[in-house]
Chains A and B, each alone.
Chain A
Amino acid sequence: MSEVINQLRSSKFKQQKLPARQPILKPRSVIPTMLILGVFFIVLGVIFVLSVDSVIEVSKRYDDKCKIGSNCTITFEPPSDMESPVYFYYQLTNYYQNHRRYVKSRDDTQLGGENLSYEEAEELCDPIISLDGEKKDSMVYQPCGLIVWSQFNDTLTVKNGDEVLDFNEKGIAWESDIEKKFKNPDPLPDPDSQTTLQSDYTDEHFVVWMRVAALPTFRKLYAILEKGKLEKGKQYSVNIENHYPVSSFDGQKSIIFTTTTWVGGKNSFLGYAYISLGSILFLIGLGFLLKHLIKPRPLGKEKYLKWD
């Protein structure tokens, strides 16, 4: 009996006496941490602001200048030299790629190169399943689904005068998507068939489009200028074959040229957010410090207990 008891007694676990730390928020540790962190965040914020400042971004709306079905040219002038790589995006607004019905209307196995039966397509691709809604395997869209069906189809070409700039339209999608996720079916879909919505599943514009955006205003990468630069003061033009209708939903289409730094593109919020957070931390820390210096409360005195 006594042995059991002794065991029980010495069990720190059962007696709830496990070795433990009980940290408490003491001025001595909190105030310095706050001040140091405040400074640290301010410094970080300044670094972000400076980095982002070096980014040059040019944005031009074109849907209002160009009729659907026509070819137009938009010109732009970089405010300063834009060293390569320069990224060329198109931007859509009011476009709900994140709508539930839109997001789910795709079939990843089909995009991975497998042929679908009508039933399989029906399950996921609704409402864009098959040509004229016929319930035949052969009539299933290749690939099916809203996302594919609503693919962005404007063609954009950047020119300097008459010279087409060397914007590379490869390397704009995620490597993993190109390598693993998207595969062409065997046999390749007939490009002329009405059921074929996309003849090359690994086309990078297509792959980029298929990664739906999080918010109704989004940018998609179109091409990258890998060598050379866009020079300040020069007039560049973008040739647009304008197919994609946006007016019905009050959307806007724009083109954007930008350089990047390690934290991405022109994103001033980041830096200011850090500076503000840092300042708040610092000010609170300072407030605590003043209060502590002027009227500290000595810790652990029984006289502070309410019942005394």
Chain B
Amino acid sequence: MDQREFNIPLIIEDPKLFPFCDNSIKSSHYTAMNFVPKTLFEQFRRIANFYFLIVVILEYLPFSPLTPTVSLAPLVIVLSITAAREAYEDYQRHKSDNEINNRKVLVFRNNEWLPIAWKEIKVSDFVKVQENEFLPVDLLLLSSSNNNGICYIDTRNLDGETNLKIKQAIPETLQYSNTDKLQDFYAEFASELPNNNINGFDGNITFENQEKLSLNQNQLLLRGSTLKNTKWVIGFVVFTGKDTKLFQNSKEAPSKRSSVEIQLNPRLVTLFFFLMCIGTVGGIMSARWEKDWKKKAWYIAIDKESGISQNIVVRGIVGFFSFVIVSNVIVPISLYVSLEVVKFTQSWFINKDMKMYHMETDTPAKARTSNLTEEIGCINHVFSDKTGTLTCNIMNFVKCSINGEIYGDDQIIGGEINDLNRIENNEKEKNQEKRKEKKKKFSDKNLLNDLHKSDEIQSNYIHEFLLTMSLCHTVIIENNLEEIDNYSEIQYQAASPDEGALVNATRELGYTFIGRTPKTITIDIEGERKTYELLNILEFNSSRKRMSVIVKDPEGQIILLMKGADDTIYERLDQKNKQLNSDIIHNQIESFASEGLRTLCFAKKNISEEDYNEWNKLFHKANTLTVDRKKNVEMVCEQIENELFLIGASAIEDKLQKGVPQAISSLSLAGIKIWVLTGDKRGTAINIGHSCSLLTNEMELINITSDILEEYLIEMENANETAFQNNKQYQPMALIISGKALRFALTENQKLTFLKLAQRCQAVICCRVSPIQKSQIVELVRHNVKNSTTLAIGDGANDVSMIQAAHVGVGISGNEGMQAVNSSDYSIAQFRFLSRLLLVHGRWCYKRVIKVILYSFYKNVAFSFMQILFGHFSGWSAQTLFPAFLISTYNLFFTSLPILIVGIFDQDISDESEEKYPQLYSCDNQKDDFSFKGYWIWIIEGVFHACVMFFIPILIIGTNIVRHDGKPTAFWVYSIIIYTSVVFVVNLKVAIETTYWTWMHHFTIWGSIIFWFLLISIFSNSLKLSSDLHSIAKEVYTHPICWISLLLVVFICLLPDIAWKYIRRNYFPKDFHIIQEIEKKKAKYQKKIKNLKNLNFSNSVEEHLLNSEQEEKFSKISKMKGDNKYNDNNWDISQESELSILEAHFSSDVDLKEGLKKRKNNKNKTIVLNSSDSSDLFEN
């Protein structure tokens, strides 16, 4: 069955057999009953949690050296933290589900309108929705408060588009607007099956004894949208609950894992392997030891022990498990929790960063997932959309070519539409003011002169051009015409900014669009109202790349007016009567494009009444199909959209966003390859490439444009020859490829050649690409370039697939709705924030997360490795070196907080420097830290520290007498001395790794150490808590030998570390070392200046000088860095600008003293009086 059919009213005897789903929704995952099992199941799917579960189970075995509580406690804590979070989130979901399910709406029951809860609504019910109410179901519109059955809906929640959409009932159902009529309603209804296509719907309705009536998306009001500007609508329910388009669309976004997280597993596996080694060594050795010593060591009475087989193999296996259990801490249980906390905080910092806050639209940056914080630290490919991402998506009608004549050459004609009203903003008034400011009065005298000139041909062309512009669109008017006195107050609602710009421009030129009904469009031509009968709208979509309207003008002539991309229109021009000037216009279009303007062509065609009627029948038939309607409609449209007559072309400017060139050059300095994927023409794309400094003058451009396979292959061959010439190794290159050529490039056997060429180039621009190609390109790079980490950034619905395909998707929360943002991982308001997101937050996060992971490995290896060393001294009996509860608290109490703080706050260099030196952000550099080499360095350091911490106390304490009162030491004394040194060494290791000391670092690092002493003194004062450790603190810490050994251990452990760090910094410095030093110098310099300023003697003079100097330098530097940064973030200006002075001093290598001397001299020259006493002081 590929159709859904039911009668209205639908009468079902047994409610249980109701064939359609109900309208209640359930977004919660758990119920009170299944919460515990389900959440446990989810959590144990994590390999680390499962591992600890196994450990706990092993510990229940009789031979286990540890009691289960030791591992159970941390596991329970970790699980309950996650479970608590889950429970809270699910509670919120339950709450909102309930709220939604119990909302009331008017439903026609028992011949009257009753308020009914949403969840009670059933398919075929009549529902009445009032203004500003949410649609509770997918509703088929029958009638509305408007006589024509028109209503407006806001689909923001559905597709994120903020412009109002018009829906209109079919005329045949308009009568069903009151209860009496509805009582008599009887019809058969058929529709497509539930699907996720928001912009399409096929259905038909048949009233008794009448013809089948076609229904489409214009009659379907979707759940989740809001009714606007309409008092009420009545409709019947088509889809409920999870059948609605809203829920059909709410697919879970593909969950993304960062590459660090993926790489974490093999490293964890190495740790498992390591643990297995410990177990195997322990098992073999313990079997051997027992075999040798069974008879000898009578005092252990091995043969008397009950319960366990004496078989050597069994003993070996028991030994294996015993060692696995005592060393289980080697896998850091707290790592996942720490990582979650760290990443969550990073995301929070991203959300709060005011330097990524866009004041105009009140949009902060938003991390929509916290999984990928470290991923943005090593991006090497950025795929960017152009319109709305690099540009503002604020369209400006700047030029046009009418019949080969270019108008508006040097100045802006037409208004600028600013779509601020589409951005949710509380301060609407303010925006309107802004909008007025941006509107420039039209002033192209030539065009108007020509229009009114006697030269009829040109005048006629201009008239038709303006007519097409003002008729061929889907713009609607937002405000009520009766309330305004002036056309300039009309607010247009356009689905695309281009349309808005065109309609606004025609208003300025005297052709004002003043209203539409479903059957008419009214325009005001220089004071004269004219109403055109609207026959059909052949809508725009990305494959058609054109739209047309068929209207009947007041004189009764049927005209088809079309606008669209030049290639689609040129294909459809009248070939028989080839226009002489079409080539001229084409050249003009090319020149518009090369200036970076977006072009649209306009064409028209007169249709005879008969032709139209014939065609309209076909069109109507195609529209009433329920199967393959779209394809058929397009085919029918083709039949009428031909033999066109070209009128002219428009050129619309889409301004670059602020700061884009700076951001792009930052990103390329950072070693990131930038690919611009745009639907624009090649010329436009190249031009934009130049203006956003993606393409530079030194670059050699490689063009691949052919649309025939053979030509493409030849082009590729040539391109490869040029690109890989030996003498051109260092020649920067850029590749420009068209959508048609991309079709070949993306085929299976061509893609690697293409990729190789693309990798050779510094910049790649793909023009005229379709949305699906965008994601194909991303996937091509993602899967075929080794170590690639891709980021896709875009703002429109056409970027969604690319955003989801890339490792990281970034959405621009701009003008084109929220679809891109909703499927993205990060959303920012402007492209320029991308550089800060990557260079600052990404880099920090990566460094921090890596530090947390590696350090967690290190500290657990160091801790566990001592166990196997001790095995050798304890007859391989798996005796734990430390009391059991100290093993379980090691990760929890003494070593987890400091690294967490480092993971949250560490900054090896400041954000200013990160932005100033983008080169620091290099994926390869970053990945170095987490390479297997880096990993092994930490592991080996852990082993080394374990050896030192174990053997030094043995050598010092060992069998010797170590107390001045001659009393012997004991096992637990030794154990506590070692534990103390572990706490010291491991925490001091964090201290060494810390590059940014805030009070919190001090608090946690020293706090952890102090806490250890606190805890051990509590334990040693209570026999009940632990009899082994009774009075241990006194017995250990009151004797100097403990401290002497501690000092030795700490220094031996950390000396190599510090020495290596010193050598590396001073003799093999990495870039960040040097930048740290530069920062240090700056800070010092700044302090000195501050001190000078604080000397009150020369305040005024100094400040005056400083200020003038400041302003000068400031303006220079702000120009350099992109003025936006300073305009947007004018906080800290004083500080920043002071730094800029310092920067200047440093860059010119002027010594501090010299600088001051110079200033002093200046001052003496300029203000002699004031400085008479100050100069003395200066000399001191």
Contacts and interface: CB of A to CB of B under 8 A. Distances in A.
Interface stretch (B292-300, B647-655, B816-824, B1100-1108): B292-300
B296 A248 contact: yes
Interface string B892-919: 0000000000000101000100000101
A65 interface: no
B45 interface: no
Contacts of B877: 96, 98-101
A76 interface: no
Given A103-B971, A224-B966, A176 B1030 contact: yes
Nearest to A150: B299
A266 B879 CA distance: 29
A220 B968 contact: yes
B1150 interface: no
Contact of B1023 (A87, A127, A150, A181): A181
A5 B1048 contact: no
B1081 A299 contact: yes
B848 to A, nearest CB: 11
Contact of B967 (A22, A173, A262): A173
A1 B360 CA distance: 12
A25 B1065 contact: yes
Contacts of A280: 1055
Contact of A126 (B305, B917, B962, B1048): B305
Interface string B913-929: 00001010000000000
Interface string A158-197: 0000000000000011101100110000000000000000
Contacts of B934: none
A78 interface: no
A112 to B, nearest CB: 7
B961 A214 contact: no
Interface string B48-84: 0000000000000000010000000000000000000
B815 to A, nearest CB: 21
Interface in B385-418: none
Contacts of A85: 966
A30 B1062 contact: yes
A293 interface: no
A185 to B, nearest CB: 16
B1074 interface: yes
Interface in B942-969: 952, 954-969
B192 interface: no
- Interface size of B as a range: 35 or more
Nearest to B322: A100
Contacts of A62: none
Nearest to B978: A214
Contacts of B931: none
A80 B322 CA distance: 50
A96 B1040 contact: no
B961 A304 contact: no
Contacts of A112: 1023, 1027
A262 B971 contact: no
Interface in B1053-1096: 1055, 1058-1059, 1061-1062, 1065-1067, 1069, 1071, 1073-1081
B354 A16 contact: no
Interface stretch (A67-75, A228-236, A268-276): A268-276
B875 interface: yes
B878 A100 contact: yes
Contacts of B969: 213-214
B1052 A176 contact: no
Contact of A100 (B349, B874, B1031): B874
Interface in A85-135: 85, 87, 89, 91, 95-103, 108-109, 112, 126-128
Nearest to A147: B299
Contacts of A300: 1074, 1077-1081
A49 interface: no
B845 to A, nearest CB: 11
Nearest to A247: B296
Interface stretch (B213-221, B376-384, B584-592, B992-1000): B992-1000
Contacts of A260: 961, 963-966
Among B297, B1041, B1051, the most chain A Cβ lie within 10 Å of the Cβ of B297
Contacts of A221: 966-968
Nearest to B1039: A264
Contacts of A56: none
B306 A96 contact: no
A219 B964 CA distance: 15
Contact of B354 (A1, A15, A208, A224): A15
Contacts of B301: 127-128, 146, 149
A264 B970 contact: no
A106 B875 CA distance: 19
Interface string A253-270: 000001011111111011
Contact of B299 (A146, A263, A266): A146
Given A146-B301, A264-B963, A20 B997 contact: yes
Contacts of A265: 960-962, 966
A284 interface: yes
A1 B424 CA distance: 14
A267 B1077 contact: no
A43 interface: no
13 contacts: A98-B874, A103-B971, A126-B305, A172-B967, A213-B970, A214-B970, A214-B974, A217-B958, A265-B966, A277-B1055, A281-B1051, A300-B1080, A304-B1069
Interface of A: 1, 5, 8-11, 14-16, 18-25, 27, 30, 37, 41, 48, 85, 87, 89, 91, 95-103, 108-109, 112, 126-128, 146, 149-150, 172-174, 176-177, 180-181, 208, 211-221, 224, 245, 248-250, 258, 260-267, 269-270, 273-274, 277, 280-281, 284, 288, 291-292, 297, 299-302, 304-307
| A-B complex: 9 closest residue pairs judged by Cβ atoms | A265-B961, A300-B1077, A176-B1031, A87-B966, A150-B299, A108-B1027, A100-B879, A127-B304, A100-B877
Given A25-B1065, A101-B305, A181-B1027, 4 more contacts: A15-B354, A16-B905, A91-B959, A299-B1080
